[in-house]
Structure formats: C-alpha cells, structure tokens
Amino acid sequence: MMRLWLVVGLLLVATRAFADVSVVASVDRNHVAFGESVTLTVAVQGTQGGSSPSIPHVDGLTLDGPSTQTSFSIVNGSMSSSVNYTYQVTPGRTGEFTIPEIGVDVDGKSYSTAPIKLVVDKAGAQNDMSQALFAQIRLGSQQVYIGQTVPVQVVLFARADLPLRRGLSGFNYEADGLGFKFLQNLKTGAQVINGESFNVEVIEGSISPERTGTLNFGPCILKAQLTVPRSGRSGSPFDDSMFDQMFGGPQVREVPVTADAVPVEVLPLPVEGRPADFGGAIGQWNLAVTAKPTQVAVGDPITVTIKVSGTGNIDTVPSPKLEPLDGFKTYDPTTKTTKDDLNTTGERVIQQVLIAKNTEVKQVPEVRLVYFDPVAKAYRTAVQSAIKLVVKAGSGGETTIVGSSGGRLHPEEKLGQDIVYLKGDLGPAAPGAPFCATPAFWILNVTPLLGLVGGLGWKRRADRLRGDVAYARRTRAAKNARRLLTAAVNYDAVEHALQQYLGDRLNIPAGGITASIVDEQLVPRGVNGELAARARECFENCDTARFAGGGAGADVRVTREQAEWLIDELEKKQL
C-alpha cells in the first residue's frame, strides 16, 4: 500500500511539474542569400511527449529533418523538460516566404507557433550588419520631472548566428544634465524578434535629471567583440588551420554599435497645489510609525520608529519630524538609510527616544510626509495618525519630572534587583578618598606591569637557553650533577657525575675528563689551593677504588659528599 501511494504521489508531482507547456518556433536568420540554408527550431517546453511538429508545405522551401534533442532536469525539487526539433530549411528561389503556424499535439491538446517571415536575396545582395547587430535605448518614460529617478536600459542585440563574445570592450554615452549612472555587470539573455533568435546583453542604469528642458540621452556607443577567422596568408606553404592552431586560432574584432539618442523632456515640479510643508521628496513613498511601549510610567523611555520606503531617490526624502513634543523630554534621533545601486528604491529608518514628563501626556503626535508622485503628477501626503499612550505615575507616586536637566524622581534603585533607570545627571560624588589614591588601585595597576616584566625576562632567558649551547650547559650543570650524585651508589657513578659537571661547566666533552683537568683547566681559571687539591683528590680516590676493585660503602659516601662540596664551591667561582 505504501508503494502505491508513493507512485501516485510521484505521478501527481510529475503531472504538476509538466503542466505548463509552451511551443515556440524560431530561425537563426530570417534574411539570407540564395544558396544558403536556415536552421528552424521548434522548442516544446514542459513535456517530453507529444507528437512531432506538423509543418505545412511551403512552395519554394525544402525542409530536412528533424533532429531531436531532449533534456530533463530537477532543480531544488522542481522538474523541467523540453524537446527541440531542428530542421534545415533550403530556399529554392529568391523572394519572400512565410513559414505558417506549426502545430504540435501534447496530451490531446493542440499548440501552434507564430508565423515566421523569411527573405531570400540573390547571392551577395544581402549582408547588412545593422540587421544582425544593433542597439536600442529603453527609457521608463521620456517625460520626467527634475529630481525624478527613472530606470534606463541600453540593449545590444546580436543575431544568434553571429560569433559574439560575451561582454563589451567599451561603453561611451552622452547624457549631459541627466545624472546617468549604470551597473558594471551586464545582464544577458535571448529574445525572438519577428521569428528570428537574438542574443541580448543589457546595461542597466538610471537617470535623475538635474535641470529642466529637452535633453538627449545618447547616442551611446557599445563596443561589441566578434570572433572572426584569421585572414589567409597568400603564398604560404602551410595551410591556415595549422597556423590557427599554432597562433591562437580566430581573432577578436571590435565592432562599435551605436544606439540612437532618445529625447527626454524634463519638467519642473508644479507650483500649483504644492503644500507648504513639501520638503523635496519625489517618488512613491510609504510611511509607517510605531511606538513601544505605549503604557509607561512618568520618566520611562518610549522608542518611536519611523520608516519611509518606496520607489524613487531616497536622498530627496527629508526625515519626517515628530511635532509638537512639548510634553516629552527628547533625545537626538538616529537614522539609517539603505538604497539599491541605481538609487531607484530605498528605505530610511528613524528612531527617537521620548520620555513623558507627566501623566497629562496622552499620545505620540502624528507624522506627515509630503511628496510629489511623478506617476500621478500630483502632490501626495502620507499620514500616520497619533499613537495613544497611557502614562501612569512613577513607582514613587511621582506625576511630573522636575528640574531643568530632566532628572528622574524615582526612589533609590536596588542594583541587581530592579531595572536601573535613565539618569539625567551624575549625582553627588561618593564620600571618602578617590579610588586612585587607595592601595588596591596601585596593586591592580602595578601587578600586571610586574607580570609583564617578569614574563619578558623569562622569555629572554628561554630564548638564550635555546640559542646558546654553552650557556645552557653551564646553567644546568650543577642541577644535573646533583641529581646524578643523589643516585650514585659506587665510585664510577660519583666520577661520572663529577665529569658531567665539569664538562657542562667548561663546555668541553665530559667523557675524557680525569684528575689532569685540575692543572689543565681549573688552575688557569683561578682555582688553586685547597679547592684544587680537593678536586684532584676526589678524582684519584675514584680511580684508585675502581682499579683496586672497590665497591659501595662508607668510603663511597665520603667521596660523594666530597664531590658535592666541590660542586658547591666551584659554583661560587667564575670559570
């Protein structure tokens, strides 16, 4: 049963996905020379079924085909499919032809295409590039008001068979006094004109006239790029295709395409019917006002938000004001403005904090915005009516804020237990010595400094231990030797600890150190007298015990203590 419902669900989804069916016929060119062929494409969108197109016979035209191409895709759970039927149409004579409506049956329903005109000239008679590559200017309106923002499109049309590279190599225009701006990124698409397919590239922009009168937008020059074969090399022993592969293939040729100028009549804003409080806003604007909270106590803050949004140049819109505000203490408003890249739509949000001074305050006043609507050619006023408020006495029974500073008359606040109210002044200073004169202040400030100095010293020492081997051995000599002596249980271990100490301290190999080191290294470094004799004696005792077969016992302990004394004394010397 579950599988049955799954299949039914899939069939319903598929049926819904393919419900929108359309049939469009187009040719790659509708103006050709005799002897050339035209590609006719019948595109069936929204299904993979249906009958093959039924193309009526046209005297003088021969059709070969069709070749069929089917596509199917699923994007974000939405399925789409299409079938393209392609025919080669070959004229048998010159003249004008009309490919009539082409019928296609899909699921029992008939669809038909629009007729297509085809002109066949004598060979070499037609090669008018202006019919294959041209540009147009599209204005939202050719009659505008000063300061009004109007969208503009400069469109390049290239017949589908032209080897046009995407993008322009240049764009020049004349728009003096029109405040023209445009987006750098082009929009691309396709369009069928009189049954002929064109690739389209669109420059999107806008104008905002700066003076009145009849002004011209354009002409505009768009520098298109065509990919053309490299010219042949007469007399070359090599064929062109070899050279094309070696030297980059076809070359790109820049073709300037001119869009004719379009006159624009710029009108002044009408004086008749202009409200006295008109501030220069032009466009179609919406006004929204909110106040939160609407039930407050005397001295509590109220946040009023005013939002202006719509179509037009938001920079011409003044910020609406809240007036009158006699019953409120006010704070400076904050403003945030956003707009699109062409300044054709925008939004401005103004927030202002108000504080009711007494319980007599009943409402936030109404907000008005006067603007000129260029579509209706009239002044409009957007009004948001007053917002009702309920203002109660404060928690201490206060019904009025007193004092020029607007201070609050609330009872003493208990921090951590209640909302801390806004304060109009700092209040009296706390009694006693300032905090900066207390020991705690100096401890808190000096401790981090001492820690920093100590950390820098420790890092400097660590860096030296890593980079200076002699210093590292000398620094760790006594510690390592004492550790070895603590674990020593025979003369060999005692002698090894003493050798290791002197090797690290003098930065020499420790393995070959004997009693002779006293005269070779220690005496020249200022070690003489009893200390030199004790060092020599310690080495000799270890050698005698080792060769005589001495082991552990009280004598080893005495020699170990002698070595420990010797290390302590040598640590006091600058060797």
Assess whether 143 and 79 both reside in one domain. Answer: no
Residue 461 lies in a domain: no
Alpha-carbon gap, residue 157 to 201, rounded angstroms: 7
Q: Closest by alpha carbon to 287, among 197, 393, 366?
A: 366
Instruction: Judge if 290 and 321 occupy the same domain.
Output: yes
Residue whose structure tokens are 């037009």: 312
**Is 473 contained in some domain?**
yes
Domain boundary among 266, 291, 313: 266
Q: Are strands 328-330 and 295-297 parallel, antiparallel or unpaired?
A: unpaired
**Do both 138 and 165 map to the same domain?**
yes
CA dihedral 270, 272, 278, 282 (to 10 degrees): -30
What is the distance between the alpha carbons of residues 100 and 123, in angstroms, rounded to a whole number? 25
Q: CA 20, 23, 29 angle in degrees (round to 5)?
A: 145
Q: Are 104 and 53 in contact (CB under 8 A)?
A: yes
Query: At how many degrees (to 10) do helices 554-570 and 469-486 cross?
Result: 150
Residues 292 and 216 in one domain: no
User: Are residue 550 and residue 523 in the same domain, yes or no?
Assistant: yes
What is the residue whose two structure tokens read 């939405």?
78
| Same domain as 166, residue 57 | no
**Domains in the chain: how many in total?**
4
Asked if residue 450 is part of any domain, the answer here is no
Residues 488 and 556 reside in one and the same domain: yes
| Residue 385 main-chain phi, psi, to 5 deg | -65, 165
Length of the chain: 575
Q: What pLDDT does residue 410 have?
A: 46
Cβ proximity of 154 and 68 under 8 Å: no
- Check whether residue 139 and residue 111 sit in a common domain: no
How wide is the angle at C-alpha 491 spanned by C-alphas 476 and 546, nearest 5°? 135
Whole-prediction pTM: 0.50
- H or E, element range at 564: helix 554-570
Is the domain of 53 the same as that of 84? yes
Residue 308 and residue 259 share a domain:
no
Last residue of a domain, one of 266, 291, 316: 266
Residue 156 placed within a domain? yes
Q: Classify 366 in phi/psi space as left (phi over 0), alpha (psi -120 to 50) or beta.
A: beta
Residue 199 covered by a domain: yes
Cα(102)–Cα(23) distance, rounded to whole angstroms? 9
Residue 541, token pair as written in the block: 């005792």
For residues 297 and 311, the answer to whether their CB atoms sit within 8 Å is no
Is the domain of 24 the same as that of 145? Answer: no
- Tell me the C-alpha distance between 319 and 369, whole Å: 8
C-alpha span between 425 and 570 (Å, rounded): 71
Q: Same domain for 25 and 93?
A: yes
Q: What CATH code is carried by the domain that includes residue 300?
A: 2.60.40.10
Residue with tokens 């004092």: 403
Tokens 């002779």 sit on residue: 516
Residue 455 lies in a domain: no
Q: Which of 266, 299, 333 is the last residue of a domain?
A: 266
Tens digit of pLDDT for each residue in 440-464?
888 888 899 898 898 888 888 888 7
Indicate the helix (H) or strand (E) that contains 110.
Answer: strand 109-112
Q: Which pLDDT tens digits describe the chain residue by residue (575 residues)?
A: 555 444 444 444 444 444 478 889 999 888 887 767 889 999 988 887 778 888 898 888 888 888 888 887 776 666 778 889 899 898 878 889 999 999 988 888 888 899 999 998 875 444 467 788 999 999 988 999 999 999 999 999 999 988 888 888 889 888 999 999 999 999 999 999 888 899 999 999 999 999 999 999 989 989 898 886 654 444 444 444 544 554 555 677 788 899 999 999 999 999 999 999 899 999 999 999 999 999 999 888 999 999 999 999 998 899 888 878 888 888 889 999 999 999 899 999 999 999 988 888 889 999 999 999 999 999 999 999 999 999 888 765 556 665 444 444 444 545 555 555 555 556 566 666 777 778 888 888 889 989 889 888 888 888 877 778 788 888 888 888 888 888 888 888 888 888 888 888 888 887 778 888 878 888 888 887 788 888 888 888 888 877 666 555 567 888 888 888 888 888 888 77
- Integer-rounded Cα Rg, in Å, for the chain is 48
Residue 439 lies in a domain: no
- Three-class SS state of 432: coil
Range of 75's domain?
2-121
Which residues make Cβ contacts (< 8 Å) with residue 484, sequence separation at least 6? 493, 496, 497, 500
* Beta carbons of 435 and 441 less than 8 angstroms apart: yes
Whether 370 and 380 have beta carbons less than 8 Å apart is answered as yes
CA-wise closest residue to 222 among 142, 167, 161: 167
d(CA 330, CA 325): 8
Q: HSE-up of 366 (CA within 13 Å, CB side)? A: 7
pLDDT value of position 125: 43
CATH of the domain at 185: 2.60.40
Residue 96 near residue 117, CB atoms below 8 Å: yes
The bridge status of strand 262-267 relative to strand 301-312 is unpaired
